[in-house]
């Protein structure tokens, strides 16, 4: 019953957000666009985390996607959809390279590697101005840029697509394999799951998604430089959204994206006139959120519903020292 309700709700939301670009004001569309981009990023990060790979360098995919999208437009004259296709390939390739290079590294080791990669890419972009425009930056060729409504529609559609990908994956063996790998890689191997294959698939898919977000965002903004492309804040938001929304869940990244954009705009509008105040609020929210709602908004909701459903609900499995929630739709 719960599942059916949630699915109907999800479809209703999807239809609503697809309708918005045609009727809403620019301001609302701008907000929804940022939610959509963050949503794609959050879904992507969540996918990786579900397989035990914590990424601290998601901005690498974002940046690569952004440059791929803008450069292919500027030098090959590609319109937005083929350019996004190029970004998808670039992201997938980068993900595959990371998977092959890092092999079996897990946890913080993997995370630091991704961070190192992201910073290296930023340096490379800065040091190769002939290719990337360097620090001076790159403008998207004006005439290729589609109208605002079209851009918003594409952004929203991409976000819905990303969520669908995660839904599909969640109902396949792929998902259970990833979760098993996350919990205990040795045991999973004994069951015949090849960690390297799954790691490769996860990173490629995740990378492709994040690159799509970077590409579409670059087309929207119209201007790119290495600091914008490989901005650390992208990485931070990619993590905060699923964690605040509910890690390893499907709706969590979506809920979290709305929350983050909402909060950041609120603090900008109300406190923007005071130096440093908006970043302060963001930090405080992070702290309070982690301390008092470690399962995220959606995760807490699920726990609440589970408790109401009574003692017949199975307790979540997990190791003695860590609390890893079951995946819920």
Partner 1 sequence: MRAFIARTLAVALGIGAAGVAGAAEPLKVGAALELSGRFVAFGSHCKRGIDMASEALKRDLPGTPIEFIFHDVESNAASTVSAFTQMTSEEKLDFIIGPIASPIAASAIPAWRQARPIWIVPGASTVTLEKEIGSDLNFFHPFPYAYQYHVEIAGMLKQYVNTKTVSIIYTDDDYGRTHLPLAEKYLRDAGFTIVSEEIVRANSADMNSALTKIAFAKPEVLLALMQTTDSITLAKQVYTRRLKVPYLIGTFATQLKEWQDAVGLAQEGWTGLASYLPNLVNFPANPDYPKLLPTTSDWEATFRAKYSQEPNYDDAMCYALAAAMAIATKNAGSNDREYVAKALRELDINTVYGHLKWTATEGGTKQNAFDQMIIFQRQGGKSVTIYPPEAANGKLQAVQH
Partner 2 sequence: MAYFTQLLIDALLLGGIYTLMAIGLSLSYGVARVINFAHGEAVMLGAYGAFWGFRLLGLDPLMAIPAVAMLGIVVGAIVFRLTILPILDSQQENQILLTFGIGLVLQSLAVMAWSADERATNPDYALSSFELGDLVVPGARLIGCAVAGVLVAILFVWLKFTELGRASRALADNREAAGLMGINVPAMFAFVFGLGVALGDTTGAIVSFILPVTPFMGFSILIKSFAIVVLGGLGSIVGTVIGAFVVAFAETAVAYYVPDGNGWAEAVAFAILFVVLVVRPNGILGTQATL
State the residues that interact with partner 2 by CB under 8 A.
49, 54, 56, 101-109, 111-113, 115-117, 119-120, 123-124, 126-127, 232, 236, 239-240, 243, 247, 274-277, 279-280, 282-287, 290-291, 294, 321-324
Q: Which residues pair with 224 in a beta bridge?
A: 138
CB of 215 to partner 2, least distance (A): 24
| Residue whose token pair is 């804040």 | 233
Task: At 31, list the tokens.
Answer: 């907000």
User: Can residue 26 be called a binding residue for partner 1 (CB under 8 A)?
Assistant: yes
276 binds partner 1 (CB under 8 A): yes
Among 79, 103, 221, 318, binds partner 1 (CB under 8 A): 221
Q: Where are the alpha helices (DSSP H) in 135-194?
A: 148-170, 173-183, 185-190
- Shortest spacing between CB 174 and partner 2, in angstroms: 22
Site string for partner 1, 30-69 (x = CB under 8 A): xx--x-----------------------------------
The entry of partner 2, partner 1, none that residue 268 binds, CB within 5 to 8 Å by partner kind: partner 1
Spell out, one character per residue from 97 to 136, where the chain touches partner 1: x when CB under 8 A holds, - when not: -----------------------------xx-x----xxx
**Sole binder of partner 1 in the list 1, 3, 81, 142 (CB under 8 A):** 142
Helix axes 232-245, 58-76, angle to 10 degrees: 120
Residue 223 C-beta: closest distance to partner 1, Å: 5
Distance CA(217)–CA(219), nearest Å, equals 5
Q: How far apart are CA 58 and CA 242, in angstroms?
A: 13
CA 26 to each of CA 38, 125, 149, 223: distance values in angstroms, whole numbers, following the listed order: 18, 32, 9, 19
Q: Which residues contact 17 (CB under 8 A, 6 or more apart)?
A: 32, 36, 156, 159, 160
Q: Judged by CB, which is closer to partner 2: 24, or 277? A: 277
* 3-class secondary-structure state, position 154: helix
Question: Interface residues for partner 1 in 148-177 (CB under 8 A)?
Answer: 148
Closest distance of CB 275 from partner 1, Å: 5
CB 160 within 8 A of CB 14: yes
Q: How far apart are CA 80 and CA 240, in angstroms?
A: 29
The item of partner 1, partner 2, none sharing an interface with residue 187, based on CB under 5 to 8 Å by kind, is none
96: tokens are: 């595959």
Task: Kindly write out the interface string for residues 188-217 of this chain, putting x where it contacts partner 1 by CB under 8 A and - elsewhere.
Answer: -----------------------------x
| Gap between the Cα atoms of 192 and 328, Å rounded | 25
**49 close to 64: Cβ distance less than 8 angstroms:** no
Each as own residue / partner, the long-range contacts of residues 77-82 (CB below 8 Å, 24 or more positions apart, any chain) are 77/141, 77/144, 78/144, 79/144, 79/146, 80/144, 80/146, 80/150, 80/151, 80/154, 80/216, 80/219, 81/154
Nearest to partner 1 of 119, 185 (CB atom): 119
CB of 215 to partner 1, least distance (A): 15
Q: Which is nearer to partner 2, 74 or 102 (CB)?
A: 102
What is the binding site for partner 1 (CB under 8 A)?
Answer: 25-27, 30-31, 34, 126-127, 129, 134-137, 139-140, 142, 145, 148, 217, 220-223, 225, 227-228, 231, 233, 265, 268, 271-279
């Amino acid at each position: 019953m719960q599942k059916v309700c949630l699915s109907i709700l999800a479809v209703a939301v999807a239809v609503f957000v697809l309708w918005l670009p045609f009727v809403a004001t620019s301001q609302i569309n701008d907000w929804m666009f940022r939610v959509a981009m963050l949503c794609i990023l959050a879904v992507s990060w969540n996918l990786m985390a579900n397989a035990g790979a914590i990424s601290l360098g998601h901005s690498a995919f974002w940046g690569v996607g952004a440059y791929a999208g803008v450069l292919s437009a500027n030098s090959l004259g590609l319109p937005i959809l083929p350019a996004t296709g190029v970004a998808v390939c670039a992201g997938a390739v980068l993900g595959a390279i990371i998977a092959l290079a890092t092999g079996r590294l897990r946890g913080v080791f993997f995370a630091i590697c991704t961070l190192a990669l992201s910073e290296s890419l930023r340096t490379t972009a800065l040091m190769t101005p002939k290719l990337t425009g360097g620090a001076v930056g790159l403008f998207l060729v004006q005439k290729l840029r589609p109208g605002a409504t079209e851009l918003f529609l594409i952004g929203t559609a991409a976000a819905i697509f990303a969520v669908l990908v995660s839904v599909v994956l969640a109902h396949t063996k792929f998902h259970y394999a990833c979760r098993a790998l996350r919990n205990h890689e040795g045991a999973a191997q004994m069951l015949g799951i090849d960690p390297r294959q799954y790691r490769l698939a996860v990173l490629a898919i995740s990378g492709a998604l994040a690159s799509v977000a970077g590409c579409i965002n670059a087309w929207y903004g119209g201007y790119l430089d290495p600091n914008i492309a490989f901005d650390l804040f992208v990485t931070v938001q990619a993590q905060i959204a699923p964690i605040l929304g509910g890690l390893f869940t499907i709706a969590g990244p979506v809920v979290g994206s709305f929350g983050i954009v909402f909060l950041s705009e609120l603090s900008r509008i109300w406190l923007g006139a005071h130096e440093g105040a908006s970043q302060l609020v963001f930090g405080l929210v992070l702290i309070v959120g982690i301390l008092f709602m470690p399962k995220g908004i959606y995760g807490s909701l699920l726990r609440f519903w589970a408790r109401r459903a009574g003692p017949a609900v199975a307790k979540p499995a997990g190791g003695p020292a860590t609390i890893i929630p079951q995946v819920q739709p």
